[in-house]
Amino acid sequence: MVPSLSLWAKTVFFIVCFAQTSIAQERITTQDLGDVIKKVLKKNQDSAQTSKKPGVPVLPSFGYNPSLGFVVGAKSVMSFQLGTPASTTGSIVGLEALYTSKGIITFQARHNVFLPGNRLNFQGNWQVSRFGIVDFGIGSGNARDSKDEFSLDEFPLENSDSSFPITFNYIRLQEKVYVKVAPHFFIGGGVNINMHKRITDEKLSPTFSTPHFLYSVRNGFNPTAYNANGLLFSLQYNTREHPIRSYGGMYAELTLGTNASWLGSTQRAVQLQYEYRKYWSLSKQRPDKVLAFWHWGSYMLSGKVPYLDMPGTGSDAYYRMGRGYTIGRVKGPSYAYFETEYRFPITRNQFLSGVCFLNLQTASDDLGKKIFQFWEPAAGTGLRILFQKQSRSTICIDFAKGRGSSGIFFGLNEAF
């Protein structure tokens, strides 16, 4: 049964109708947040001034969770070009730092860098954390039995009886190198290191066992520490016209991951992961009117993976997958995600735009529940504020509602 969405559906309908009737076809100067602030402060730009290179946009993060405490931090994404735009895809580097009043701290750096002529492509995700999540068990279908819980960004505002907070030390080192072998086509490989230490199940007691503890024991993992380390072999095809906010093209990647004991992995496993993104511009006059599609999947071929390394909500590099649910709300040994998003301009100067989106996710478990057996849907609408016109960076504010879950989600740049 699809969740009741009448309130936000009316809001979406109003925003779309307003956008479609208010946007004229004539060209107008693009304005970002800096331009608007200068206008408000009556600081006129020198018309003869040349366009400067994009700087480094920074977006504050904040929130509250009863287990993690008050959360403060910042996210930044920088785009740059190492070659000519005609022959080289734009590069991205993202940084994030987070601290909470209960001692949770994390530093994360992500990059997708293309050398001139796209000869080589480096993709990486590095993280060092004392982190935490609010867990809801494994497999899809669990949310249908939950009351409606509201979250702010990545964290629920209260912990229900069906949630299980977990804190842990975490080290991640993922690095892949791709070689261009044909136009837009790359072959590569790399290493994937995931180490969880000092895992603490807050609700675990001598009289109560949490889903994390039960899964770990029956699959041969130490519930307090484990590793998932291995090698990656990948194929990539990329025709996106922009790395941050694409108006056209596609991105596809296929990766085979093998966890190996000789690299320190607690157990062996083989996983097949793939990702597909497609963008269609719907207007020549307004190319930023876009229909976008995203599919992400990970399938267990053999072996077993630790509980906190299972793919699920927020498993993408920027934790944007599955808006409507918190990180890890839906997860399993095999997991699949689908999202469709309509992006439309609101103001003629591109300062404000909006999105409407629908997503579906499904996961298996280790006790017989199959992937695609149960689905968790979500839908929402959002506002985009053009933060930096040179790089197309946007501040994202989304409201999304799923089954048994809803919330407001913040981000820097589009979800995909």
Overall number of domains in the chain:
1
Q: Of residues 70 and 383, which shows the higher confidence score? A: 383
At residue 168 the predicted structure's pLDDT band, cuts being 50, 70 and 90, is very high
Structure letter (DSSP) for residue 68: T
The answer to whether the beta carbons of residues 193 and 171 sit under 8 Å apart is: yes
Q: And the tokens for 398?
A: 């989304």
- Decide if 254 is inside a domain: yes
**The CATH number of the domain where 167 resides is what?**
2.40.160.50
Tell me, yes or no, whether 48 lies in a domain: no
Q: Is residue 172 part of a domain?
A: yes
Per the domain annotation, does 46 fall within a domain? no
For residue 350, being part of any structural domain is answered with yes
> Can you spell out the DSSP letters for 178-228?
EEEEETTEEEEEEEEEEEEEEEEETT-BTTB--HHHHHHHHTT--TT-EE-
Per the model's pLDDT, the better-predicted residue between 20 and 149 turns out to be 149
* pLDDT at 128 > cutoff 90: yes
Chain segment 91-122, per-residue pLDDT in tens: 989 899 989 888 889 999 999 999 999 999 99
Quick one: pLDDT band at residue 23, thresholds 50, 70, 90? very low
Lowest mean pLDDT: which of 166-170, 188-192, 228-232, 318-322?
318-322
Share of the chain above pLDDT 70, in %: 87
In whole angstroms, how far apart are CA 65 and each of 69, 112, 260, 265?
A: 5, 31, 36, 32
**Structural domain includes residue 376:** yes
pLDDT value of residue 54: 55
What pLDDT is recorded for position 157? 74
1 lies in some domain: no
User: Which residues, at least 6 apart from 46, have a Cβ–Cβ distance to it below 8 Å?
Assistant: none
pLDDT digits (tens, 9 = 90+) for 238-254: 999 888 899 999 999 99
Average pLDDT, stretch 152-167? 79
Give the chain's length. Answer: 416
Instruction: Please give the span between the terminal C-alpha atoms of the chain, in angstroms, as a whole number.
Output: 27
Query: pLDDT of 372-382, one tens digit each?
Result: 999 999 999 99
What range defines the domain where residue 398 resides? Answer: 6-22+29-41+55-412
Mean pLDDT of 160-189: 93
pTM of the model: 0.85
- Position 328 in a domain: yes
pLDDT at 310 over 60: yes
Indicate whether 40 pLDDT > 90.
Answer: no
Mean pLDDT (the chain, rounded): 87
